[in-house]
Amino acid sequence: MAKNKILVPGAREQLNQLKTNVMKAKGYQIDQAHPDNIKYEIAREQNIPLKEGYNGQLTSEQAGKIGGTIGGNMVKEMIKMAQQQLKK
């Protein structure tokens, strides 16, 4: 499986931890060893036929609904964290 390119070397573990924490707070069960698997649960909730491996049959709208749910929640949390840091 291809991984998204991370701009900061070594940040993948921290990003996975953020994803785990954010999605747990949203009520999802997260496999600590495989936090990316949350995308399958989100796809099932939205009746999107995501499967392991190639998913060329998905529309960009379907893919965006899956990734947007995860990434959007992560961005909201990062903004909240930045705001808290600015208050200090």
Q: List the structure tokens of 82.
A: 């930045």
Range of the domain at 39: 12-87
Q: Is residue 3 part of a domain?
A: no
Tens of pLDDT along the chain (88 residues)? 455 677 887 888 898 899 999 999 999 998 888 888 999 999 999 999 999 999 999 999 999 999 999 999 999 999 999 999 999 8
Is residue 66, in this structure, part of any structural domain at all?
A: yes
Number of domains in the chain: 1
Q: What is the pLDDT of residue 1?
A: 45
pLDDT score, position 12:
85
Q: How far apart are the first and last CA of the chain?
A: 40
Does residue 43 fall inside a structural domain? Answer: yes
Please return the burial class of 35, using the count of CB atoms within 10 Å of its CB with bins 0-12, 13-18 and 19+: buried
Structure tokens at 76: 């909201």
Is residue 22 situated within a structural domain? Answer: yes
* CB-based contact 30:20 (threshold 8 Å): yes
In a domain, 81, yes or no: yes
Residue 5 within a domain = no
What angle, 0 to 180 degrees and rounded to 10, lies between the N-to-C axes of helices 38-45 and 60-87?
Answer: 120
